[in-house]
Amino acid sequence: MARDPFPFNVGEAKKPRRNLFITLALMAIILFYGANTVILLGFPLFGKAMPGDLPTPPEAWMIPTAGLLSLAYMAGAFGVWWWRRWGLSLLWTTALTTVAAELIFTGSIGSFLIGSMIMVLGAIVATIWVRVKRAHFD
């Protein structure tokens, strides 16, 4: 029997595994913010009134900006899904920008801010998970 001249394994590297909780959390972020992006960026196509007409209509630039922030947050979740550190940075940048913008432009702590805090919570969960699995992230 011939001896292998290359005794080390040059095969595919072992792929890291996500646990069920972070998989479900990332999938929820991707699905929810994906739908949110479609709704907000598609808003001009739907007409002048949003479902549940808002008491004070937002300024023209606010809805596309919220759509782009939603798109960036979803992209950050994809980055974490693909084991990239930039994904976590994008999650935090988007979440904190959204919280700051809502505090500045609404001037109150209301239902909109609660939605932003959910973004921060998602970034916190991803941060904890990245710290545990940091060796696998590029």
Structural domain contains residue 51: no
Structural domain contains residue 8: no
Structural domain contains residue 3: no
pLDDT tens per residue across span 98-137:
888 888 777 666 666 677 788 888 888 888 887 777 766 7
Burial pattern 96-117, b for ≥16 Cβ within 10 A else e, equals ebbbebbeeeeeeeeebeeebe
Structural domain contains residue 14: no
Tally of structural domains, the chain? 1
Q: Using CA of residue 90, residue 91, residue 96, residue 102, what is the dihedral sign?
A: positive
pLDDT tens per residue across span 9-53:
555 556 677 788 888 988 999 999 998 888 888 876 666 555 555
Structural domain contains residue 50: no
- Residue 111 domain boundaries: 20-45+60-136
N residues, the chain? 138
Q: What is the pTM of this model?
A: 0.76
Structural domain contains residue 1: no
Structural domain contains residue 13: no
pLDDT band at 7 (very low <50, low <70, confident <90, very high): low
pLDDT tens per residue across span 56-66:
666 777 778 88
Structural domain contains residue 11: no
